[in-house]
């Protein structure tokens, strides 16, 4: 089994007693790669139009909120809902022809209208409409008839339920206990009345950790092999989900999925949508599928049938053409793993399976017509077809590709076969005696409270390094990490270490180290996820329409709207390169940027209004800029703290290996021991490890 697949499986079952998904169910889900999403409901009948006017704000499936439409008027639409052209078998046939392996249907969207017969509310497609149909039943049965798996979308917010939180513009409302009980009753119906469910795709709302846990366990109680999506919140999930129409730029060490609509502007049917050119859309979605699978993810592509139930011709044609491409190149997509390479390529993307590499010519044609791959330890046995020539020079494999390979309408795939199974290549080799987060390869997952806080977390750090006769690791940590237990995985062998036996060492700042004035900017609205670089100075504020304000307070508390951030900036003048300890304080989440680069980021424990911590700042000689972002998701106030720590000290703890490790090249991974979730940030950004050949 491939190393990355083992890691992904560990993430699925890493919730301990919480996770019940079998390895076989995960392998099947992970290998499917490509599925159909269906947004269908009362909103489909409106098609993005209310009272003769196009509703251009927001997604069309949320037209009730954006038009807006009163609850009473919206209920009347159900009396006219009769989608006579909705044919579950035709949709299943389309999914299969498109090369998809499962169908995910919106059982209930935010409007609260259920596409299934339920005892919990009469606001459903059987009791409230003239058609008297259970669409969940129809699609579930059709999917199985045609050899497809079946999953469900379920909205955690409900604008129709009278005891739910009121409708809001952000859709991330708290879930009342009455609403939570209502959801459990509906989910039990869905999980027990419609056969095997492959995945349950939760959406929006702001569950408490206890509510997320209860729903997660409820799903696995009735459907042990059902994969649960990350939007359930609070890191209770089996696979993480990107933001709408978003794609990660790096491989994740957790199961993940990108959900995409045919058009970024809407998921539900929009009668007046500018659909553009079919050929361009086919290429766009094919390229998106390639980008997702080359990074180890699954792709969920949406259709929005019309109010009469018919699939939009444009969307049908796009799916069929992508399916035509998959009929030729599906072997390079299904049951594959992410690219084994750490680097990105401008010429295209890569997947792997067993001893095969699949090269997708989806990027830019290389100027010299050559694609060069570093394949140390592998012997090229075969390159397929007449489209390219293949030569190996030592560790280097060189392909010469004609320009015509990039000029066809279809994206071509080249196959390289080697003498053995291909494993991920290690990251850069460190030839420095000190390992730090800055020279590590991070292990990424996604962590969140809810949709707006979903961000790429770092669950551990890995290094590849050279050291002869390695015998001792010297672990340097701060009071922030003291008492924690971590795992050191050295050349595949795991050692658990408690950071409690360190000798105190001084990290006193060199004479001449000075902290400048404090500047504050905010509030700025937005999600917690952000770029790894921040380009800001006194003339360029990080919040649009705001400026920096000088303050004499390095710590303060201010009123703040939810879903907003305050930024705090200070300059540090250092006479030489050095490490100093800063004291940081923030609300629901924090980020620290040093000289424009992100060096620390995490969510604080749920509903923590203010938390202080220590962060090591690796300063360069001269002027340095440190910026703190204090993120407020839930509270009515925000707080910040940014100053030098009163005590500039760290701890040094020696870990002596039972036996000297032979060889020159080694791999090391550090991560928390038995974390509560395999997705929550490790918060090990202060750790440094010094390598020793003999015990000192």
pLDDT tens digits for range 444-478: 999 999 999 999 999 999 999 988 888 899 999 99
Residue 625 and residue 534 in contact, taking contact as beta carbons nearer than 8 Å:
no
Alpha-carbon span 372 to 398, nearest angstrom: 5
| 502 or 66, which is more confident | 66
Residues 6+ apart with CB under 8 A from 343: none
Helices first, then strands: H and E counts in the chain: 11, 39
| 531 or 614, which is more confident | 614
Residue 655 and residue 473 in contact, taking contact as beta carbons nearer than 8 Å:
yes
| 437 or 430, which is more confident | 437
Residues 6+ apart with CB under 8 A from 233: 202, 205, 206, 207, 212, 448, 449, 450
* pLDDT at residue 251, as a whole number: 85
pLDDT tens digits for range 91-130: 999 999 999 999 999 999 999 999 999 999 999 999 999 9
CB atoms within 10 A of CB 616: 26
* pLDDT at residue 363, as a whole number: 96
Closest CA to 486 of 473, 495, 474: 495
**In the chain, domain spans:** 3-330, 349-418, 429-507+650-692, 514-647
Structure tokens at 339: 């690219």
Q: Residue 694 to residues 376, 458, 494: CA-CA distances in angstroms?
A: 30, 31, 20
Measure CA 378 to chain center.
32
CB atoms within 10 A of CB 185: 13
Structure tokens at 72: 């009473």
Same fold, 429-507+650-692 and 514-647: yes
- Residues pairing with 359 in the sheet: 350, 414
Alpha-carbon span 257 to 298, nearest angstrom: 5
Most confident of the following: 250-254, 305-309, 339-343 = 305-309
* pLDDT at residue 1, as a whole number: 35
* pLDDT at residue 17, as a whole number: 42
pLDDT tens digits for range 321-335: 999 999 999 999 999
Residues 6+ apart with CB under 8 A from 277: none
Q: To the nearest whole number, what is the mean pLDDT of the chain?
A: 94
Residue 81 and residue 135 in contact, taking contact as beta carbons nearer than 8 Å:
no
Mean pLDDT value of segment 547-563: 96
What is the CATH architecture of 429-507+650-692? Sandwich (2.60)
What is the per-residue DSSP string for 563-608? Answer: SEEEEEEEEEEESSSEEEEEEEEESSEEEEEETTEEEEEEEPSTT-
Which range (7-11, 128-132, 431-435, 583-587) has the least confidence? 7-11
Mean pLDDT value of segment 171-178: 96
- Is the preceding peptide bond at 68 cis, omega within 30 degrees of 0? yes
* pLDDT at residue 488, as a whole number: 96
* pLDDT at residue 626, as a whole number: 98
- Residues pairing with 38 in the sheet: 105, 303
Mean pLDDT value of segment 201-206: 98
What topology is assigned to 3-330 in CATH? TIM Barrel (3.20.20)
* pLDDT at residue 12, as a whole number: 54
Closest CA to 581 of 652, 483, 480: 480
3-state secondary structure 86-150: CCHHHHHHHHHHCCCCEEEEEEECCCCCECCCCCCCCCECCCCCCCCCCHHHHHHHHHHHCCCEE
* pLDDT at residue 433, as a whole number: 77
What is the per-residue DSSP string for 313-340? Answer: HHHHHHHHHHHHHHHHHGGGTTT-B--S
| Residue 7 predicted with pLDDT over 70 | no
Mean pLDDT value of segment 618-629: 98
Structure tokens at 142: 């059709």
Closest CA to 481 of 231, 248, 687: 687
Give the pLDDT band (50/70/90) at residue 659: confident
Percent of the chain with pLDDT over 70: 97
Closest CA to 549 of 518, 589, 594, 588: 518
CB atoms within 10 A of CB 12: 24
Q: Is 638 exposed, middle or buried (0-12, 13-18, 19+ CB in 10 A)?
A: buried
> What CATH number labels 349-418?
2.60.40
How would you classify the pairing of strands 298-303 and 34-38?
parallel
| Residue 660 predicted with pLDDT over 80 | no
Alpha-carbon span 677 to 684, nearest angstrom: 15
Q: Residue 580 to residues 134, 391, 687: CA-CA distances in angstroms?
A: 63, 51, 13
Closest CA to 322 of 262, 266, 264, 251: 262
Which range (15-29, 58-72, 249-263, 387-401) has the least confidence? 15-29
Mean pLDDT value of segment 665-678: 95
Structure tokens at 689: 């490890």
Measure CA 188 to chain center.
27
Mean pLDDT value of segment 615-619: 97
* pLDDT at residue 20, as a whole number: 67
**Strand, helix or coil for residue 534:** coil
Mean pLDDT value of segment 24-52: 98
* pLDDT at residue 8, as a whole number: 56
Alpha-carbon span 161 to 259, nearest angstrom: 27
* pLDDT at residue 16, as a whole number: 43
Measure CA 622 to chain center.
37
* pLDDT at residue 694, as a whole number: 63
> What CATH number labels 514-647?
2.60.120
| Residue 376 predicted with pLDDT over 90 | yes
Give the pLDDT band (50/70/90) at residue 619: very high
Measure CA 32 to chain center.
18
Residue 670 and residue 689 in contact, taking contact as beta carbons nearer than 8 Å:
yes
């Amino acid at each position: 089994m491939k190393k990355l697949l083992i890691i992904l499986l560990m993430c699925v079952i890493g919730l301990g007693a919480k996770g019940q998904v079998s390895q076989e169910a995960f392998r099947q889900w992970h290998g499917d790669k490509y599925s159909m999403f269906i947004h269908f409901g009362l909103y489909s009948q409106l098609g993005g139009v209310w009272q003769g006017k196009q509703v251009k704000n927001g997604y069309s499936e949320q037209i009730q909120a954006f038009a807006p439409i009163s609850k009473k008027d919206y209920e009347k639409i159900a009396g006219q809902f009769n989608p006579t052209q909705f044919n579950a078998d035709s949709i299943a046939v389309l999914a299969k022809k498109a090369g998809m392996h499962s169908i995910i249907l919106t059982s209930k969207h935010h409007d609260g209208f259920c596409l299934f017969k339920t005892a919990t509310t009469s606001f459903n497609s059987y009791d409230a409409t003239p058609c008297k149909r259970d669409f969940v039943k129809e699609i579930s049965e059709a999917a199985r008839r045609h050899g497809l798996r079946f999953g469900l979308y379920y909205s955690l917010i409900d604008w129709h339920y009278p005891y739910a939180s009121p409708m809001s513009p952000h859709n991330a409302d708290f879930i009342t206990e009455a609403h939570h009980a209502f959801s459990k009753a509906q989910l039990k119906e869905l999980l027990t009345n419609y056969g095997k469910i492959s995945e349950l795709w939760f959406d929006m709302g702001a569950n408490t950790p206890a509510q997320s846990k209860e729903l997660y366990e409820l799903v696995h109680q009735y459907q042990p092999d059902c994969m649960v999506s990350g939007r359930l919140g609070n890191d209770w999930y089996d696979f993480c989900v990107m933001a709408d129409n978003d794609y990660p730029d790096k491989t994740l060490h957790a199961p993940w999925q990108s959900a995409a609509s045919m058009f970024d502007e809407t998921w539900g049917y929009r009668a007046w949508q500018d659909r553009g050119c079919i050929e361009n859309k086919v290429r766009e979605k094919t390229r998106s599928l390639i980008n997702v699978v080359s990074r180890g993810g699954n792709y969920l592509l949406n259709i929005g049938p019309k109010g009469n139930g018919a699939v939009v011709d444009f969307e049908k044609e796009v799916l069929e053409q992508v399916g035509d491409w998959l009929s030729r190149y599906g072997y390079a997509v299904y049951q594959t793993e992410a690219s084994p390479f750490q680097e990105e390529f401008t010429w295209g993307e890569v997947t792997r399976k067993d001893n095969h590499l699949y090269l997708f010519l989806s990027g830019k044609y290389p100027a010299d017509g050559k694609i060069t791959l570093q394949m140390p330890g592998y012997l090229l046995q075969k390159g397929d077809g007449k489209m390219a020539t293949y030569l190996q020079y030592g560790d280097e494999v060189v392909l010469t590709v004609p320009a015509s390979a990039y000029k066809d309408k279809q994206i071509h795939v080249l196959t390289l076969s080697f003498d053995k199974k291909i494993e991920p290549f290690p990251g850069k080799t460190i030839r420095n005696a000190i390992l730090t987060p800055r020279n590590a390869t991070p292990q990424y997952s996604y962590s969140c409270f809810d949709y707006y806080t979903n961000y790429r977390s770092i669950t551990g750090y890995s290094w590849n390094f050279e050291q002869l006769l390695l015998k001792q690791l010297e672990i340097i940590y701060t009071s922030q990490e003291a008492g924690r237990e971590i795992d050191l995985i050295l050349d595949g062998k795991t050692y658990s270490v408690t950071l409690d036996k360190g000798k105190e060492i001084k990290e006193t700042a060199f004479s001449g180290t000075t902290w400048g004035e404090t500047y504050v900017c905010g509030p700025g609205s937005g999600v917690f996820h952000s770029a790894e670089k921040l380009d800001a100075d006194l003339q360029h504020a990080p919040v649009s329409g705001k400026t920096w304000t000088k303050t004499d307070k390095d710590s303060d508390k201010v009123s703040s709207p939810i879903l907003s951030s305050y930024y705090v900036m200070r300059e540090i003048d250092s006479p030489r390169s050095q490490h100093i300890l800063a004291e940081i304080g923030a609300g629901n989440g924090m980020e620290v940027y040093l000289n424009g680069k992100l060096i620390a980021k995490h969510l604080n424990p749920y509903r923590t209004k203010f938390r202080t911590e220590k962060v090591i700042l690796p300063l360069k000689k001269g002027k340095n800029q440190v910026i703190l972002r204090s993120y407020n998701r839930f509270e009515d106030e925000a707080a910040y703290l940014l100053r030098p720590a009163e005590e500039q000290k760290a701890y040094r703890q020696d870990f002596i290996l039972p036996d000297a490790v032979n060889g020159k090249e080694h791999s090391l991974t550090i991560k928390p021991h038995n974390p509560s979730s395999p997705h929550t940030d490790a918060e090990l950004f202060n750790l440094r490890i010094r390598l020793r050949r003999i015990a000192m």
